[in-house]
Amino acid sequence: MSPSPASEALVPQRTYLNAPATGLRSWLLTKDHKRIGVMFLVATTVALFLGGLFALLIRIELLTPGPTIMDAMTYNRMFTLHGVVMIFLFMIPAIPSGFGNFLLPIMLGAKDVAFPRLNLLSFYLYLIGAAIALYGMVHGGADTGWTFYTPYSTTTVTKVTPILLGAFVLGFSSILTGLNFIVTTHTMRAPGITWTRLPLFVWSIYATSVIQILATPVLGMTLMLVAIEHAFGWGIFDPARGGDPVLFQHFFWFYSHPAVYIMVLPAMAVISEVVCASSHKNIFGYKAVAYSSLGIAFVGFFTWGHHLFTSGQSPWDAGIFGVLSMFVGIFTAVKVFNWVATMYKGSISFTTPFAYFVGFLFFLVFGGMTGVALATVSLDIHWQDTYFVVAHFHFIMVGGVMMAFLAALHYWFPKITGRMYPEGWGLVGAVLVVLGFNFTFIPQFLLGNEGMPRRYYSYPERFWPLNVASTAGASVLAAGLVLILVYILISLRWGPVAGQNPWRSRGYEWMSATPPPPENFEETPVFTRGPHEYDDSAEAPPTPTGEPSHVP
Amino acid sequence: MSPDAHPALAHHFESLEKQAHAARLGMWLFLATEVLLFTALFAAYAVYRYLFHQTFADASRHIETWIGLVNTIVLVTSSFTVALGVHRATRGDGKGTALFFGLTVLLALVFLGFKAVEYSHHFQEGQLPGRYYTYGEVTGPGASLFFALYFLITGLHGIHVVIGMTVLTVIGIRSALGAFSAEYNVPVELAGLYWHLVDLIWIFVFPLIYLI
């Protein structure tokens, strides 16, 4: 697929990729939100593959009931590193800091985020945090699990301190990004963008940012307390000195439960855009979708106790936390119904982003319903610390977040690079990922229900067949991801030129040139319609061949 | 951006007012994250005070309330001087701002001086928490925890005092050099806000640790 000279001519002369300069230095010192977003995307993708490598090693170890390729201690380190890398280095920053940085200012018609220098600082804090955590991993890693439960985490001999410090620094990166996005959304909207004309992507990212700035400081303090405890033994969480280890669990989940919404709300942000663009239809129930994001962000702060059902919490507390947790299911269902209704009577293009949307919908509904089941105290006590829980949160986090990440990657790949990926290979990759994912985690639901506990490197023989199925699924998933990586890398250089608006999307971000110039729009645009309006009364959308689109 | 735009106006804002609005909003959000950082420690204090009520009450009788009181007066006064400095900036009086910010930094040094005296007493009496705890007059499982929280809260607050001093010094010097004017002095205002937060947190720390 060598691009024809004619289509090459359609690439804008001056884009953020070549202006104001092209050298490495101009990237590393850039204050352009688009370049920072792209650097985040590259960094988080590296983290995804690193975390995926740990996941594969875990699955290979679990291929046979006894020891397969590693001992128990190595296995403990592997699942800790898998969790830390995937959560702190991939899922929390990937969509907000990567795609959010690239898209949010363009969707607001702004030239940049409110604090560009702070934005660059956020990226370097991410790199520093990642470097500190990687140092800890290379020098022995930790065996505590990503949750760092005390008193084990304060007494283990493994290198838990650098990993705690790394997560602490990464938290500040996350806070600064969230702060920047909130201020940008409040103060930098172009004329015509009222709150009810905000793209749904922005609404969801905004809700995410609120959680980021309100929850992350508490995690930072908690991780510091664990590090101090590990170093000096002050006894804050040590029962031998009067400390309360359950207090750690409260602190930890006060952040880490809202943190799952830091991960999943941006996924919902992507999906709201993709479903409209793929169905060529206005979103059904704009306000319901927008406000349910805020609802999830709000209720998300009052559900942390469902992680402590078996930690000695009173039945009264457990009941309340259980009910509050189910509220999240209501808000999520509002979104799901609206997305489905958006497709109804739409003109659907079954492209790769849409394929990921379909996968996302299945995983979110399935994972969400098992989540509601887990919020029921009596059922949770049966499933606590089994593979059922593992399968549940992987359905939401991998099934939800990674599908949305891949949908975003394909949907905005032309916007970011100006080129298209191969659609056929894209669909093959999507099928491999969705099938591989199902084969990996559906067996884990069954294993968990039969009582297989998490975090053991060996298991009784009766769990063998399902574990083999799970490992086989993981291999298919990995193959799919590698395939995607390969064609994405090839398309960067040799993909056909996309033109300005290959999806014929009405989203604001497609109104600027593709790829956008450094200042996003030649002059501050004035918006006269909503971001998801596909009404026939509007002018004819631009064709996929890349003719310049109208500015409404 | 027109050629005669204010030099402090960044390229991505249309006007200085919008830029100032964004900066203020950003600062208030940042202050919210600072409050939440301390909230974790205050929550831990509340839980352990509930669990070890008598021990905590006894322990707070064995720290020097008069130092806490003097430091409270010092910090409240410093809030006053910082407010005067910010007020000067709105009049375009950069030298006046520098003078009052300088006074504030001096008061902060007095605060840290008293804090150092207090800390050295704790060291001498064996009130360091955990395995270093050798203090005989307050014992029991909660005693070391009180001092752990004492050092964490006052230590974190002390770090904020040092950061605040640095910020005030830098902004004070820039004011003296004429970097700000009556129409553009947002950094002065934000530095003042930060210092007020440092004081405000102390207003909560003083009764929690010393009085009740």
pLDDT digits (tens, 9 = 90+) for B42-74: 999 999 999 999 999 989 888 889 999 999 999
Q: Is the pLDDT of residue A522 over 80?
A: yes
Res A293: pLDDT = 95
Q: Could you report the per-residue pLDDT of A71-124, keeping only the tens digit for each? A: 999 999 999 999 999 999 999 999 999 999 999 999 999 999 999 999 999 999
Residues of A in contact with B138 (CB under 8 A): none
Res A536: pLDDT = 55
Put simply, whether A225 touches B (Cβ < 8 Å) is: yes
For A365-392, what is the mean pLDDT? 93
CA gap A104, A531 in Å, rounded: 13
Question: Shortest CA distance to A15 belongs to which of A410, A500, A549?
Answer: A500
Q: Is the pLDDT of residue A413 over 70?
A: yes
Angle separating helix axes A403-417 and A33-61, nearest 10 degrees: 140
Res A551: pLDDT = 43
Put simply, whether A288 touches B (Cβ < 8 Å) is: no
Which CA distances in Å does A27 have to A17, A18, A20, A414, B68?
9, 10, 10, 20, 50
- The winner for highest mean pLDDT among A372-381, A499-508, B78-87 is B78-87
CA gap A83, A91 in Å, rounded: 10
For A30-35, what is the mean pLDDT? 94
User: Which of A104, A179, A253 is the best residue to mutate to test the B interface, defined by the most B CB atoms within 10 Å of its own CB?
Assistant: A179
Res A552: pLDDT = 41
Put simply, whether A550 touches B (Cβ < 8 Å) is: no
For A383-406, what is the mean pLDDT? 94
Q: How far is B173 from chain A (nearest CA, A)?
A: 22
Residues of A in contact with B11 (CB under 8 A): 111-112, 519
Helix (H, G, I), strand (E, B) or coil at A524: coil
Q: What is the ipTM of this complex?
A: 0.92
Q: Which residue of A has its CA nearest to B142?
A: A242
Residues of B in contact with A114 (CB under 8 A): 22, 26
Token pair, residue A35, equals 């370049």
Please, which residues 230-269 of chain A have a Cβ atom closer than 8 Å to chain B?
Answer: 232-236, 241-244, 247, 251
CA gap B87, A219 in Å, rounded: 37
Q: Is the pLDDT of residue A537 over 60?
A: no
For A395-408, what is the mean pLDDT? 93
The amino acid present at B90, given as its one-letter code, is T
For B109-124, what is the mean pLDDT? 94
Res A467: pLDDT = 96
Res A12: pLDDT = 84
Cβ atoms of B122 and B68 within 8 Å: the answer is: no
Tracing tokens 């806070």 back to the chain, one arrives at A175
Cβ atoms of A544 and A504 within 8 Å: the answer is: yes
Across the interface, do A183 and B25 touch by the CB < 8 Å criterion? yes
Q: Could you report the per-residue pLDDT of B165-187, keeping only the tens digit for each? A: 999 999 999 999 999 998 899 99
- Find the helix or strand (DSSP H, E) in which A226 lies: helix A200-232
Put simply, whether B187 touches A (Cβ < 8 Å) is: no
Across the interface, do B26 and A183 touch by the CB < 8 Å criterion? yes
pTM: 0.93
HSE-CB at A74 with a 13 A cutoff on CA atoms is 11
Residues of B in contact with A516 (CB under 8 A): none
Helix (H, G, I), strand (E, B) or coil at A535: coil
CA gap B151, A247 in Å, rounded: 19
Other Cβ atoms within 10 Å of A276 Cβ, number: 28
Put simply, whether B134 touches A (Cβ < 8 Å) is: no
Tracing tokens 């008293």 back to the chain, one arrives at B114
Across the interface, do B33 and A112 touch by the CB < 8 Å criterion? no
Average pLDDT, chain A: 91
Res B212: pLDDT = 82
For A322-326, what is the mean pLDDT? 93
Give A161-188 as a DSSP string.
HHHHHHHHHHHHHHHHHHHHHHHHHHH-
Residues of A in contact with B141 (CB under 8 A): 241-242
CA gap A19, A17 in Å, rounded: 6
pLDDT bin (cut points 50, 70, 90) of residue A9 is low
Nearest Cβ partner for A232 among B13, B51, B130? B130
User: Which of B15, B27, B34, B36 is the best residue to mutate to test the A interface, defined by the most A CB atoms within 10 Å of its own CB?
Assistant: B36
pLDDT bin (cut points 50, 70, 90) of residue A241 is confident
Percent of the residues in chain B that have a pLDDT greater than 90, as a whole number: 72
Token pair, residue B16, equals 């200085």
Cβ atoms of A198 and A290 within 8 Å: the answer is: yes
Q: Could you report the per-residue pLDDT of A131-181, keeping only the tens digit for each? A: 999 999 888 889 999 999 988 898 888 889 999 999 999 999 999 999 999
Res B150: pLDDT = 93
User: Which of A115, A221, A238, A246 is the best residue to mutate to test the B interface, defined by the most B CB atoms within 10 Å of its own CB?
Assistant: A221
